[in-house]
Amino acid sequence: MKNLRLKAARAARDLSQQVLADMVGVSRQTINAIEKGDYNPTINLCIAICRALGKTLDELFWKQ
């Protein structure tokens, strides 16, 4: 399932996939795959992404 909340949060901070990837220590392709729903990130990566975007796990990753 696509993660449109992650994509929207990233765009709201005017960050490219590459910049976010650099912030959390992964490749741009990893961020792209998470947004497309092709990759299920580890909890540690989820936390790093949340911290980088100023969001909670609930806001970005848990189904609502």
Per-residue model confidence (pLDDT) at position 1: 78
Per-residue model confidence (pLDDT) at position 64: 60
Q: Would you kindly state where each structural domain of the chain is located, as residue ranges? A: 4-58
C-alpha span between 28 and 9 (Å, rounded): 16
Q: Which fold has domain 4-58?
A: 434 Repressor (Amino-terminal Domain) (1.10.260)
CA dist 64 → 1, 34, 42, 58, 60 (Å)? 13, 17, 19, 8, 10
Per-residue model confidence (pLDDT) at position 62: 83
Q: What is the pLDDT of residues 4-61, one digit of tens each?
A: 999 999 999 999 999 999 999 999 999 999 999 999 999 999 999 999 999 999 999 9
Q: DSSP 3-state assignment of 9?
A: helix
Q: Which residues contact 55 (CB under 8 A, 6 or more apart)?
A: 9
